[in-house]
Amino acid sequence: MISKLYLKNFIAFTDLSIDFSPGINIVIGENGTGKTQLLKAILALSSAEAHGAQTDEQLARKLCRLYHPLSGQVGGLRRTGTRGKSVLNGTFASGQVITAKFYGKDTATSGDVPAPAIFIPTKEVLSLVRGLTAEQPDLPTIERIFDDGYLDLANQLAKEGASDLDAKVQLDPRFASIVPRLTNLIDGQYLLENGRFVFEAGRYVEKDTATRSKAQHAQMYQDSTEWKFVPSSKQHLSSGMTAEGFRKIGVLQRLLSNGSLNPGTTGPLLWDEPESNLNPKLMNDLVQVLLELARNGQQIILATHDYVLLKWFDLLMDKGKGDQVRFFSLYRDSSTRDVKVSTTDDYLQIAPNPIDDAFGYLINQEIENDMGELGK
Amino acid sequence: MKVVVADGFEFRFSDAIDAYVFDEKDSSKPTFHGAPMKGVDIVAEFDDAYVYIELKDYDDPSAYDVVKASSDDERKARLDSFKWLKNYLKYKFRDSHLYRYAEGKVDKPVHYVCVLTFDNALNSRMLNELKRELPIGKKPKRWTHALAKSCQVVNLDKWNEVFPKWPVSRVITAAPIPEEAEHA
pLDDT at A9: 94
Closest chain B C-alpha to A370 CA, distance in angstroms? 6
ipTM of predicted complex: 0.81
Q: What share of chain B is helix, strand, coil (3-state, %, to 5)?
A: 35, 25, 45
Q: What is the DSSP string of A7-44?
A: EEEETTEEEEEEEPPSSEEEEEE-TTS-HHHHHHHHHH
Most confident of A136-145, A191-200, B100-109: B100-109
Residue B70: its chain A contacts at CB < 8 A? 316, 318
Distance CA B75, CA A283 (A): 17
Can you tell me the mean pLDDT for A190-218? Answer: 76
Can you tell me the mean pLDDT for B84-109? Answer: 95
Q: Compare CB distances from B111 to A348, A356, A374 and report the shortest one's residue.
A: A374
The pTM score is 0.82
Summarize pLDDT for A78-137 with one digit per residue, the tens.
Answer: 998 888 899 999 999 888 888 888 886 666 766 677 888 999 999 888 888 888 877 777
Can you tell me the mean pLDDT for A152-164? Answer: 80
Q: Best of A353, A366, A369 to disrupt the B interface by mutation (most B CBs within 10 Å)?
A: A366
Q: Compare CB distances from A370 to B46, B150, B158 and report the shortest one's residue.
A: B150
Summarize pLDDT for A33-83 with one digit per residue, the tens.
Answer: 999 999 999 999 998 888 777 778 888 889 999 999 998 888 899 998 888
CB A93 within 8 A of CB A2: yes
Conformational region of residue B104, where left means phi above 0, alpha means psi within -120 to 50, and beta covers everything else: left
Q: Enumerate long-range contacts of A355-358, CB under 8 Å, 24 or more apart.
A: A355/A28, A355/A304, A355/A305, A355/A306, A355/A307, A355/A310, A355/B121, A356/A307, A356/B119, A356/B120, A356/B121, A357/B120, A358/A307
Burial class of residue A15 in the structure, from the number of CB atoms within 10 Å of its CB (0-12 exposed, 13-18 middle, 19+ buried): middle
Residue B154: its chain A contacts at CB < 8 A? 363, 367
Higher-pLDDT residue of B171 and B111 is B111
CB A56 within 8 A of CB A104: no
Can you tell me the mean pLDDT for A243-272? Answer: 91
pLDDT at B182: 46
Q: Best of A285, A288, A291, A374 to disrupt the B interface by mutation (most B CBs within 10 Å)?
A: A374
Closest residue by Cα to residue A20 from A86, A90, A87: A90
Residue type, A211: T
How many C-beta atoms lie closer than 10 Å to residue A55's C-beta?
Answer: 20
Distance CA A124, CA A362 (A): 31
Summarize pLDDT for B144-172 with one digit per residue, the tens.
Answer: 988 999 999 999 999 999 999 999 998 87
Chain A contact for B161 (CB, 8 A cutoff): yes
Can you tell me the mean pLDDT for A197-225? Answer: 67
Binary contact (B152, A364; C-beta < 8 A): no
Residues 50-69 of B with CB under 8 A from A: 51, 61-62, 65, 67-69
Instruction: State the pairing for strand pair B150-154/B110-116.
Output: parallel
Closest chain A C-alpha to B6 CA, distance in angstroms? 19
State chain A's mean pLDDT as an integer: 87
Burial class of residue B183 in the structure, from the number of CB atoms within 10 Å of its CB (0-12 exposed, 13-18 middle, 19+ buried): exposed
Q: The dihedral of CA B114, B115, B117, B119: what is its sign?
A: positive
Q: Among residues of chain A, what percentage have pLDDT more than 90?
A: 47
Residue A319: its chain B contacts at CB < 8 A? none
Q: The dihedral of CA B34, B40, B44, B46: what is its sign?
A: negative
| pLDDT above 70 for A210 | no
Would you say how long chain A is, in residues? 376
Summarize pLDDT for A213-234 with one digit per residue, the tens.
Answer: 555 555 544 445 678 889 998 8
pLDDT at B154: 96
Q: The dihedral of CA A180, A185, A186, A190: what is its sign?
A: negative
Q: Compare CB distances from A363 to B46, B69, B154 and report the shortest one's residue.
A: B154
Average the pLDDT over each of A147-161, A251-265, B63-77, B154-168 and give the range with the smallest value: B63-77
CB A317 within 8 A of CB A26: no
Most confident of A81-95, A277-291, B92-106: B92-106
pLDDT at B61: 54
Higher-pLDDT residue of B178 and B113 is B113
pLDDT at A304: 95
Average the pLDDT over each of A91-105, A251-265, B42-56 and give the range with the smallest value: A91-105
- Sequence-ordered alpha helix ranges (H) in A224-306: 244-257, 283-295
